[in-house]
């Protein structure tokens, strides 16, 4: 753990963490909600309940949570194909998300978007995105709007290690730098672009070097360490808000599931998945730290686990029972005259 003793308004006397107890409990609740949401989709997808395909965020929860805890609804995020965790951490309704993934009219996008396109602009969630790297210019646009409209909002662009090779992303680093936009570029490096290793596909050894090449400061953190993400992101977001311009944060993380559900993952090393699940689970690490510090009890965590399990059960139940969109919905929300 790399958490330091940075002063924080929410910090309490005996608490060695940069967040107060309520915030720590909220962080745990968010991470646990993402995990349960994704693990439930894993099971239900396997049963054939869910149309299309889904990309799960399980194992990566500390990144979304550690970053989003610094944001308000005025701040905008542009997410990726692996966007469920970002949505939950940004405050999108779990019920609406589940409805969307089931293709129901109660979904966040009334069933017209699906897993890869969940959005809720009222929460600052500009959309998951099926096109890798396409969100980076959009986040620059959100930051430009904040700057021109004179509010303190920031734009956060998420890409994986795969999309970090896209021209759209690299162009955005330059654009943000020369326009001095309040943007944070987050590279969620889980080691695999679908099945292709980051070690092979990314020529640079360091995302910090890559950021520096565009005139941006960059930091690499252990993305499974909630506190490391929280602190690094906090500093960069504050910098952006205060007019200090864009920066890049690489979160080195792990992916519990395949690229998409149904991926046999034979490209991974033997024993790799068991190893990361046993030794690099961000939620387990977080729980251990807060318990060992005596700040939060196991009983408190168990109570949250029970709440979350009920929430996800309820969301799935509602999604299954919800009405499908009807024929009239096919041609609404778009200019149609033909």
- Cβ 8 to another protein, closest distance in Å? 29
CA distance 113 to 82: 14
Task: Report CA Rg, the chain.
Answer: 19
Which one of residues 195, 265, 279, 332 is an interface residue with another protein (CB under 8 A)? 332
**Quick one: which of 20, 49, 6 has its CA closest to 317?**
49
- Cβ 176 to another protein, closest distance in Å? 8
- Cβ 323 to another protein, closest distance in Å? 14
Q: Which is nearer to another protein, 112 or 277 (CB)?
A: 112
- Cβ 82 to another protein, closest distance in Å? 17
Which one of residues 9, 13, 48, 167 is an interface residue with another protein (CB under 8 A)? 167
Residue 136 and residue 168 in contact, taking contact as beta carbons nearer than 8 Å: yes
State the Cα angle at 190 between 95 and 44, rounded to 5°: 35
Contacts of 135 (CB under 8 A, 6+ apart): 78, 79, 80, 126, 127, 129, 157, 158, 159
Q: Which is nearer to another protein, 228 or 237 (CB)?
A: 237
- Cβ 300 to another protein, closest distance in Å? 36
CA distance 236 to 67: 10
By CB under 8 A, what part of segment 107-166 binds another protein? Answer: 107-113, 117, 119-122, 126-127, 129-131, 134, 136-142, 144-146, 148-149, 153, 155
Residues recorded for the chain:
338
Which one of residues 53, 179, 260, 267 is an interface residue with another protein (CB under 8 A)? 179
Residue 218 and residue 211 in contact, taking contact as beta carbons nearer than 8 Å: yes
Using the rule CB under 8 A, is 211 a contact of another protein?
Answer: no
What b/e sequence results for 326-335 when a residue is b if at least 16 CB atoms lie within 10 Å of its CB, and e otherwise? Answer: eeeeeeeeee
Q: Which is nearer to another protein, 179 or 260 (CB)?
A: 179
Using the rule CB under 8 A, is 315 a contact of another protein?
Answer: no
* Residue 70: Cβ within 10 Å count: 18
Q: Which x/- pattern, by CB under 8 A, does the window 247-276 give for another protein?
A: ------------------------------
Q: Which x/- pattern, by CB under 8 A, does the window 42-81 give for another protein?
A: ----------------------------------x-x---
Q: Give how many residues touch another protein by CB under 8 A.
A: 48
- Cβ 16 to another protein, closest distance in Å? 38
Which one of residues 172, 220, 247, 285 is an interface residue with another protein (CB under 8 A)? 172
Q: Is 281 left (phi over 0), alpha (psi -120 to 50) or beta?
A: beta
Contacts of 245 (CB under 8 A, 6+ apart): 176, 177, 180, 181, 182, 216, 239
Please give the biggest Cα pair distance in the chain: 67
- Cβ 262 to another protein, closest distance in Å? 24
Residue numbers of the site for another protein (CB under 8 A)?
A: 76, 78, 107-113, 117, 119-122, 126-127, 129-131, 134, 136-142, 144-146, 148-149, 153, 155, 167-168, 171-172, 174-175, 178-179, 332-337
């Amino acid at each position: 753990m790399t958490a330091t003793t940075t002063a924080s308004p929410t910090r309490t006397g005996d608490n060695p963490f940069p967040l107060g107890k309520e915030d720590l409990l909220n962080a745990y609740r968010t991470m646990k909600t993402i995990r349960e949401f994704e693990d439930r989709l894993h099971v239900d997808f396997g049963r054939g309940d869910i149309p299309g395909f889904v990309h799960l965020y399980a194992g990566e929860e500390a990144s979304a949570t550690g970053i989003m805890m610094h944001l308000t609804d005025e701040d905008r995020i542009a997410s990726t194909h692996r966007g469920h965790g970002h949505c939950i951490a940004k405050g999108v309704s779990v019920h609406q998300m589940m409805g969307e993934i089931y293709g129901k009219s109660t979904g966040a996008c009334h069933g017209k978007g699906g897993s890869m396109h969940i959005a809720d602009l009222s929460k600052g969630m500009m959309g998951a995105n099926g096109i890798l790297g396409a969100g980076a210019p959009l986040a620059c646009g959100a930051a430009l709007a904040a700057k021109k409209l004179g509010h303190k909002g920031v734009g956060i662009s998420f890409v994986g290690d795969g999309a970090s090779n896209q021209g759209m992303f690299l162009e955005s680093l330059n654009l943000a730098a020369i326009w001095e936009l309040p943007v944070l570029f987050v590279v969620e490096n889980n080691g695999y672009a679908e099945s292709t290793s980051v070690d092979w596909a990314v020529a640079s050894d360091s995302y910090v070097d890559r950021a520096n090449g565009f005139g941006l400061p960059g930091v690499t953190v252990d993305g499974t360490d909630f506190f490391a993400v929280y602190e690094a992101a906090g500093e960069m977001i504050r910098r952006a808000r205060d007019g200090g311009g864009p920066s890049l944060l690489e979160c080195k993380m792990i992916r519990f599931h395949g690229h998409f559900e149904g991926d046999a993952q034979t490209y991974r090393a033997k024993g790799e998945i068991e190893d990361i699940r046993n030794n690099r689970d961000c939620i387990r690490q977080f729980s251990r730290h807060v318990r060992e510090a005596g700040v939060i009890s196991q009983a408190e965590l168990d109570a949250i686990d029970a709440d979350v399990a009920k929430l996800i059960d309820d969301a799935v139940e509602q999604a299954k029972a919800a009405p499908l969109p009807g024929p009239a919905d096919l041609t609404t929300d778009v200019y149609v005259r033909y």
